[in-house]
Amino acid sequence: MNKIAYIALTPAGVKIAKKLKSHYAGNIISKSEKPLDADLFVDDIKAEIARLFANKTTIIGICSAAILVRSIAPLLQNKQDEPAVIAIDDLAEHVVPLIGGHSSSTLGNGVEIAQKCAKIIGGESIITTAGDKNFNIALDSPPKGYTLSNPQHYKSFMSKLLTNNQVSYPQELTWFASSNLPHHPDAELTITVSNQLPNNDEYRLTYCPKNIIIGAGCARGAKSGELISLIEAELAALNINHQAIAYIASIDVKSDEAAIHQVAQYFKVEARFFSAETLEGKSHLLKTPSDYVYKQVGCHGVSEGAALAAAGDNATLICPKVKSLNGTCAIAQSTAAITEFSGKSQGRLYIVGMGPGQDSWRVPEATYMLEQAQDWVGYGLYIDLLGDIGKHKTHHQFALGEEEKRVRFALELAAKGSQVALICSGDAGIYAMAALVYELLDLNADKGGVSDAAKRVNVQMAPGISALQGAAARVGAPLGHDFCTISLSDLLTPWEAIEKRIHAAAKADFVISFYNPVSKKRRTQLAFAKQVLLKYRPNDCPVILASNIGRPNEKIRYVKLIDLNVDDVDMLTLVMVGSSNSVKFSRGNGQDYVYTPRGYSKKRKISQ
């Protein structure tokens, strides 16, 4: 849970949200009828709050606390797994963590976020949880590297503690020592720290240190269930709590192995990967070194080496390598809770279609990907158009025409373990970078493809709204029946192929959206297309010229096909030519509209 959103329904609320956004990033969300300077607008604010909560997004509402409570109430289930929900009044005087006061998040728990927000806006944080108020410690929210093993006993334990006012706990741990807990060595209530399975004792709170590393290896295509069963059997034999697992470790050539990632998901931890050279550096500590493994991957042991490399210099191999038919695992234990991870995550490339221009046309999944990525790669103009959402990101800008250079850079950057967003206008899969990404992944390195490490990157793509959809939405429904798109640029496609497509689309009576219609050097292709189309369509066939769709300088014009002039078109113009059935008409508001009927008139005649 590291996403954040602000609900702001008034100008004062937006002002407060902007202050907080400068520290935490995230989106400011408001109602669509409010003329506010927000990032996103929605019609149903309660439904949006519920959606954000369900998606584990931290919610800061500069609005009535009642709106927040009523929106999330049906979704409240397990406080250990719920995001923080914080209410702030419009005067910025009071900050109250309503839900998730002890949630786990890279942003901090709800209490911590509320206290930070109060400092940023100059207000007062109102903390109501019993532990914080009475003992200056949140016992159900342990520090990084620890988890509460028996949360089901927390409520009764706190009730007894507030009554008995004595507890035994390990004073050497800073977390406890800095609290106001009333210590007594012989108290009936006890707090312990152990990675063993906890006893069912409501007089004892047990905190589990994340000091266990599972080293894993498997054959290509192995089933995750086999590996999970192998690991669980060894953990059970050692009486180790699953919550003690800090992360799963393996060799980097397995960074795209589905089974390894599924194992990590099963144990609710990350998967990290190490080079063969790093694993070989632990060869002197291996219990079961293998010359065969060395010949295959360049180190004498994957699971043991990965467990030891991840657990640190003072680690102990408490379970040497064990094997199943297709998998291996080893278990290492660190002397302390592991709070800093070594190795690399699997790199991730997000291919993001940001839409034609305006923020409201960017799909939520694309916004999520942009927020998740640390590095943004793209044409400089596209990155600039995204505005403040990219304030805390590392930008890698490339010039127009450097498409392959930017895609290759993005893939190789992701190969280093980074989370990278490759930003495209419109839809990334329509005349944009998605096809080039997969082309470079498909090619061998000696044929112009990317490195083996880049081929193991996790690639995800968010759909976008293409210019043809944006233009169609502005003018009516010209795409109401069959349509196609044709790029008139012969920079990458032979003109002979483009000619064939124009003839075929014209003859088939498709509505046609022409991308890249002209350039400074290319002036004849659109004129050629016009002459072909006039053979099949009436002179007054409607043509839509749409420039800068979704941007402040948006411009839409209508012309008849016979009047289409190349000089009225530039590279930022989409040319959409109707079919022989497309209709242009005017409404009482003085606006012109175009639609292409699909044939419902036939149904009307039948019904009549």
Q: What is the pLDDT of residues 162-204, one digit of tens each?
A: 877 788 988 888 888 778 788 888 898 999 999 999 888 889 9
Mean pLDDT within 306-318: 95
Rounded to whole angstroms, the Cα distance separating 452 from 441 reads 9
The angle formed by the CA atoms of residues 372, 377 and 378, to the nearest 5 degrees, is 125
Q: Give the pairing type, strands 573-577 and 511-515.
A: antiparallel
* Residue 362 banded pLDDT, cuts 50, 70, 90: confident
Q: Which secondary structure element, helix H or strand E, spans residue 247, and what is its range?
A: strand 245-251
- On whether the CB atoms of residues 98 and 91 are closer than 8 A, the answer is no
Domain 468-595: homologous superfamily in CATH: Tetrapyrrole methylase, C-terminal domain (3.30.950.10)
Residues 6 or more apart whose Cβ sits within 8 Å of residue 24: 4, 107
Query: Which of 522, 519, 512, 491 is closest to 577 using CA atoms?
Result: 512
Task: Give Dmax over CA atoms of the chain in angstroms.
Answer: 98
Q: Which residues of the chain does CATH 3.30.420.180 include?
A: 212-333
What backbone phi and psi angles, to 5 degrees, belong to 132? -65, -40
Mean pLDDT check: name the lowest of 102-106, 204-208, 253-257, 344-348: 102-106
Whole-angstrom CA distances from 2 to 51, 60, 104 are: 15, 13, 9
Q: What is the pTM of this model?
A: 0.79
- On the question of pLDDT at 76 being above 90, the answer is no
Rounded to whole angstroms, the Cα distance separating 170 from 365 reads 46
Q: Which residues of the chain does CATH 3.30.950.10 include?
A: 468-595
Tokens matching residue 427: 């839809």
Mean pLDDT within 229-247: 97
pLDDT digits (tens, 9 = 90+) for 516-569: 999 888 889 999 999 999 999 999 999 999 998 888 788 999 999 999 999 989
- On the question of pLDDT at 100 being above 50, the answer is yes
The per-residue DSSP string of 112-172 comes to HHHHHHHHHHT-EE----HHHHHHS--TTSPPTTEEES-GGGHHHHHHHHHHH--BB--TT
The DSSP output letter for 571 is T
Q: Is 228 helix (H, G, I), strand (E, B) or coil?
A: helix
Q: Which secondary structure element, helix H or strand E, spans residue 14, and what is its range?
A: helix 11-24
- On the question of pLDDT at 130 being above 60, the answer is no
pLDDT digits (tens, 9 = 90+) for 143-152: 889 999 998 8
- On the question of pLDDT at 212 being above 90, the answer is yes
pLDDT at 428: 94
The angle, 0 to 180 degrees and rounded to 10, between the axes of the packed helices 65-72 and 45-54 is: 60
Q: Which residues of the chain does CATH 3.40.50.11220 include?
A: 3-128
Rounded to whole angstroms, the Cα distance separating 547 from 380 reads 19
Q: Hey, which residues does 62 pair with through a beta bridge? A: 8
Instruction: Give the rounded distance of the alpha carbon of 198 from its chain centre.
Output: 35
Instruction: Give 18 or 603, the one with higher predicted confidence.
Output: 18
pLDDT at 157: 86
Domain 212-333: homologous superfamily in CATH: CobE/GbiG C-terminal domain (3.30.420.180)
Instruction: Give 202 or 250, the one with higher predicted confidence.
Output: 250
- On the question of pLDDT at 1 being above 50, the answer is no
Instruction: Give the rounded distance of the alpha carbon of 139 from its chain centre.
Output: 31
What backbone phi and psi angles, to 5 degrees, belong to 384? -65, -35
Mean pLDDT check: name the lowest of 199-208, 456-465, 475-484: 199-208
Q: Which CATH architecture has domain 348-465?
A: 3-Layer(aba) Sandwich (3.40)
Q: How is domain 3-128 classified at the CATH fold level?
A: Rossmann fold (3.40.50)
Q: Hey, which residues does 58 pair with through a beta bridge? A: 4
- On whether the CB atoms of residues 293 and 300 are closer than 8 A, the answer is yes
Percentage of residues in the chain with pLDDT exceeding 70?
96
Mean pLDDT within 308-330: 95
Query: Which of 328, 290, 331 is closest to 311 using CA atoms?
Result: 331
